[in-house]
Amino acid sequence: MAFVDIKDWFVLFLTQLKETGIVEWFAVLFGIAEVLLAKRNNIWLYPTGIVSIMLSMYLFFHVHLYAEALLNLYYLLMSIYGWYLWVNKKSKPTVKISWTTEKELNIAIAISIIGFFFLYFILSRFTRSDVPVEDAIVASLAWAGMWLLAKRKIENWIFLNISNIIAIPLLIHKKLPLMALLTLFLFTVAVFGFFDWKKAYQKENKLQP
């Protein structure tokens, strides 16, 4: 991938910022709210996330980014699934924060690997993507991370942040500096989210740090 220099990046950032529409702003703001609420282990992360996802889907369809819209449809379904797991039935306790079991970790890895090959095949064969490998890696890791988040597994932050760190230069390459900065913010919040969830788990289980 070729990258723009820092001066061009700054000019592009200011230009994009001025041209950003209200729908995109709301999508970004609700997306930030979702991550902050997830960091605080607050169930409202799901309704705010759903609003952000639906607005993003509208934007992607509007600019004919159908693959991105499909990925956000997955996020929407996983958010609804996660919300259900968190609330659960009244007769059952809500899902608690925990570390992944070996089986769950294997499933998450399988989601990442199978998702990568599936997306790479679609992107390389049926789209004009010039970064099918990077795009597929980012999306497949995010798929696994969202699945773990829905089950309130601490390792969700690891999968999501590996996806984020790869997405940042990818977004810069695609001349989307505003989204790159947002992803950098999400990466930073997710780092703290990992330690906050770990601390909450230790407190809940009366473990020593």
Average pLDDT over residues 114-130: 89
Answer with the residue of higher pLDDT: 16 or 173: 173
User: Which phi and psi angles does 98 have, rounded to 5°?
Assistant: -160, 165
Structure tokens at 32: 């930030």
> Structure tokens of 158?
């690891």
Residue the block writes with tokens 């509007």: 62
Q: What is the mean pLDDT of residues 14-29?
A: 76
| Contact between residue 164 and residue 186 where contact means Cβ atoms under 8 Å apart | yes
Write the DSSP assignment of 152-180 as a string of letters.
TBTTHHHHHHHHHHHHHHHHHHTT-HHHH
- Say how far apart CA 30 and CA 24 lie, in whole Å: 10
**Residue 148: is its pLDDT beyond 90?**
yes
pLDDT, averaged across the chain: 82
Instruction: Write down the pLDDT at residue 2.
Output: 45
Confidence band, pLDDT 50/70/90 cuts, at residue 12: low
Given a cut of 80, whether residue 14 has pLDDT beyond it is no
Q: Are 175 and 156 in contact (CB under 8 A)?
A: no
CA gap 38, 43 in Å, rounded:
7
Q: What is the DSSP string of 39-82?
A: HTT-TTHHHHHHHHHHHHHHHHHHTT-HHHHHHHHHHHHHHHHH
Q: Per-residue b/e over 54-84, b at no fewer than 16 CB within 10 Å?
A: bbbbebbeeeebebbbebbebbbebbeebbe
Alpha-helical regions (H) of 127-155? 132-150
CA distances from 156 to 21, 68, 91, 161, 194 (A): 31, 21, 27, 8, 8
For the cut 70, the answer to whether the pLDDT of residue 17 exceeds it is no
Task: Decide if pLDDT at 199 tops 80.
Answer: yes
36 pLDDT tier (thresholds 50, 70, 90): confident
**Contacts with 193 (C-beta within 8 Å, 6 or more apart), sequence order:** 35, 38, 39, 157
pTM for this model (two decimals): 0.76
Phi, then psi, of 187 in degrees rounded to 5:
-60, -45
Rounded Cα gap, residues 58 and 65, in angstroms:
10
Q: Check residue 16 and give its pLDDT.
A: 65
